[in-house]
Structure 1
Amino acid sequence: MQATMKRFNAQVVNWTRMRDCYGDVDRVPALLEQVELDDDADAWKELGFRLLLEHDLVFPAGFAALSRLMRLASRSARARALAGSILRCGAGHHGCDDLLASCADEISGFRELLDRHLRSRPVDYLQAFRDSLAAMEEYHWSAVLGDFTDDFYHLACPHCAVEVTIAIGDYGRYSAIRDWNLGDVDRRDLRPAPSGELSGAGRWMYETAVRDGREALADGIAHLFGKAECPRCASVFDIAAEYTSANRPVLR
């Protein structure tokens, strides 16, 4: 029954309404058929250009193709990467929520595939990690998470409203007030979260990074989900909670 529903979902896409970034409605389904048959590199390149523009702008054809791309992902690295890139844009104002909802089963399967991929410790680990977060609807973390060599997060202190810079990288792990002439001033060391106190997305992120031997990523996540001291009023607050409150999209 589930397989029948998946085939049905793929068949009901009305491609005459699914324009790509060039305004065409017929080229994407033809390209999908081509890559399904022979994994042609040129076809994949054109498909990527038609579905996803720079700055993560996705057209309706991209979400219409998502279900088929995720089903191809088990045998095609190109399909996995393109599906992940489209899925990371799922929280935008794209008007395609019905298309996303129709491939919920495929998204669940895609998340399991990504987890197996992460366990293999691939060269594209961070991208797959971020794609996994998108599959969990943690779009705000998927959009900004880096490798913690040069990461900055900007948020308002919940007590005095001053803008606080959170730095997590090779240069230090601190909160500060950013002065565009002097740099980060009045630095205060961050307080990483004990692993046993993590929950939700933070726990998944940390435990997955530890499982896969990504020590620097796990350490950065512990600091990201830890606490910071405001340099202005000296209050202590939860970094991830404040960042999530300010940046997590409202899912429709």
Structure 2
Amino acid sequence: MTHQAVDWSRLTHAYGPADDIPGLFARLDGGQEDEKVWQDLWSALCHQGTVYDASYAALPVLADIAAGRVPGERKQAVLMAGLIAAEADTADRALYASQITELTSAAQACLTEVPVDEPMTFVYLAQSLLAFENVPVWSRQLELLNEEFEAECPECEALTCVEPGEYADECGTELHPARPEELTGTGARIHTLARDAGQSQVAEWVTRLFGRATCPECETRFAISESVTD
């Protein structure tokens, strides 16, 4: 299935019929207007994190951009496709399997190019990579690396404020980062990716998110990541 064969008028996005989508993609030319075009595409296809049937149909176009076959910013294509892939069901993943494979390679390449002073760009691209690889939970929640959220104590069920990222001290919760050699699964994977890319800040955040916190109510020390996945 190629995007040229799509009847966009029969698909919908956040604002109704999606027949304007091919025209938006066609306006991407590497010029000054591209930023506005991407804003319009994000608003239509991924409005506030919601995806639509037109969003899935856009995956071949995004793969073409990511692979350099048509104009457009590779990073934007990878990020948008990652959000879409994170919501895809088994049938959609099978339908766009070849495109997702291409996008996986593009995401891996993008991760090596992120400046060290853009840690959240690295996090979002890593989250996209996990989405292409169909990793549950973290393909949507890896961005918690630098967000404030509430984790539930498994012992007393009290909610504890956690901020693993840049402002880790602001919640006042006692955090116990994992040692890198203790990390397993997704935590170990992202820590290694960050370390190898020189993203030391992200690697530090990973040790906190995949470490433990002390419940301020009952003083139980619990795994933060398990609270997220549960």
TM-score by length of 2: 0.78
- Residue 249 of structure 1 aligns with which residue? none
- Residue 88 of structure 1 aligns with which residue? 83
Confirm or deny: 8 A CA contact 1:70 1:106 kept in the other structure. yes
Q: Percent identity?
A: 25
2:156 to 141, 160, 177: 160
Whether 2:99 is the aligned partner of 1:103: answer no
Q: 1:171 to 1:12 in 2, by over 3 A?
A: closer
Indicate the structure with greater strand content.
1
Q: Tell me whether 208-217 or 74-83 shows the greater mean CA deviation.
A: 74-83
Runs of 5+ consecutive residues of structure 2 not aligned to the other structure = none
What is the CA deviation profile of residues 186-218 of structure 1, one whole-angstrom value per residue up to 9, with x for unaligned ones? x43x22222222222111110001001111110
Residue 230 of structure 1, CA deviation: 2.0
Q: 1:26 to 1:79 in 2, by over 3 A?
A: farther
Q: Which has the larger radius of gyration?
A: 1
One-letter code aligned to 2:101? S
Confirm or deny: 8 A CA contact 1:44 1:78 kept in the other structure. no
Distance 1:99 1:169 in 2: 33
What is the CA deviation profile of residues 119-165 of structure 1, one whole-angstrom value per residue up to 9, with x for unaligned ones? 123454333223223223346434444596x6323121111111122
Distance 2:46 2:86 in 1: 15
Q: What's the C-alpha RMSD, in Å, of the aligned pairs?
A: 3.1
- Residue 111 of structure 2 aligns with which residue? 118
1:52 to 37, 46, 49: 46
One-letter code aligned to 2:227? E
Distance 2:156 2:106 in 1: 44
2:186 to 188, 195, 201: 201
Whether 2:135 is the aligned partner of 1:141: answer no
- Residue 12 of structure 2 aligns with which residue? 19
Runs of 5+ consecutive residues of structure 1 not aligned to the other structure = 1-7, 174-182, 246-252
Confirm or deny: 8 A CA contact 2:85 2:132 kept in the other structure. no
